């Protein structure tokens, strides 16, 4: 898989740093673009906290600052946790693999959500699409569970690759 957590985090940061209005409505029903950032930070913190003690989350002035502080925390703790094995509903994995696949999925999809909601360019790279095409099928029925993705959307047979994969995730390109 060509992408790493650091690469995905860099791309996510580029969009977060460009958001002009945190209250803008995201494609995630009921969430602003700021809420999407809060979701990404909270879910990653919860996952990491399950595998190590984390310092209390610092007070942050807004979503961009919260993301920056969280990203610094991940850069600090992930190298020491990357090879730690644990059991998932899908079998044995490592913290590093989960941060790249499951949370990488989140970084790619929610980067698109934030960019789309904020009126920024929301292009997915070939590496992004490769990651999504690899990990999405592993989620099975869990993909459409409460709070994950809406059901798939219909697309034209000649739709491009990004439109097709976003449609699987319940998102209209």
The residue extents of the domains of the chain are 5-168
Mean pLDDT of 29-40: 95
Residue 11 host element (H or E): helix 5-18
Q: Is the pLDDT of residue 123 over 60?
A: yes
Q: Report CA dihedral (90, 91, 96, 97) to the nearest 10 degrees.
A: -60
Q: Which residues pair with 93 in a beta bridge?
A: 86
Q: Which residues pair with 85 in a beta bridge?
A: 94
Q: Is the pLDDT of residue 2 over 60?
A: no
For residue 88, what pLDDT is reported? Answer: 86
> Is pTM beyond 0.85 here?
yes
* CATH number of this structure's domain 5-168: 1.20.120
142 falls in which pLDDT band (50, 70, 90)? confident
Q: Measuring CA to CA, which residue among 23, 16, 29 is closest to residue 120?
A: 16
Q: Which residues pair with 25 in a beta bridge?
A: 32
For residue 26, what pLDDT is reported? Answer: 96
For the chain, what is the mean pLDDT?
Answer: 92
Q: Is the pLDDT of residue 60 over 80?
A: no
What is the rounded CA–CA span in Å between residue 73 and residue 76? 5
What is the rounded CA–CA span in Å between residue 17 and residue 13? 6
Q: What percent of the chain is modeled with pLDDT above 70?
A: 98
Tell me: the pLDDT tens digits for 68-116?
999 999 999 999 999 999 998 778 999 999 999 999 999 999 999 999 9
Mean pLDDT of 46-51: 96
144 falls in which pLDDT band (50, 70, 90)? confident
């Amino acid at each position: 898989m060509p992408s790493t957590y650091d690469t995905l985090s860099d791309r996510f940061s580029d969009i977060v740093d460009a958001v002009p209005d945190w209250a803008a409505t995201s494609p995630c029903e009921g969430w602003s673009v700021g809420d999407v950032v809060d979701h990404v930070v909270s879910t990653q913190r919860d996952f990491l906290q399950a595998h190590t003690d984390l310092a209390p989350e610092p007070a942050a002035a807004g979503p961009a600052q919260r993301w920056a502080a969280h990203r610094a925390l991940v850069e600090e703790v992930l190298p020491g946790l990357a090879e730690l094995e644990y059991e998932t509903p899908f079998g044995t994995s490592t913290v590093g693999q989960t941060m790249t696949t499951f949370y990488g999925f989140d970084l790619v999809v929610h980067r698109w959500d934030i960019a789309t909601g904020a009126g920024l360019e929301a292009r997915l790279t070939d590496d992004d699409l490769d990651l999504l095409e690899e990990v999405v099928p592993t989620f099975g029925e869990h993909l459409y569970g409460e709070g994950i993705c809406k059901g798939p959307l219909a697309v034209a047979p000649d739709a491009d690759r990004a439109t097709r994969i976003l449609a699987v995730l319940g998102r209209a390109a």
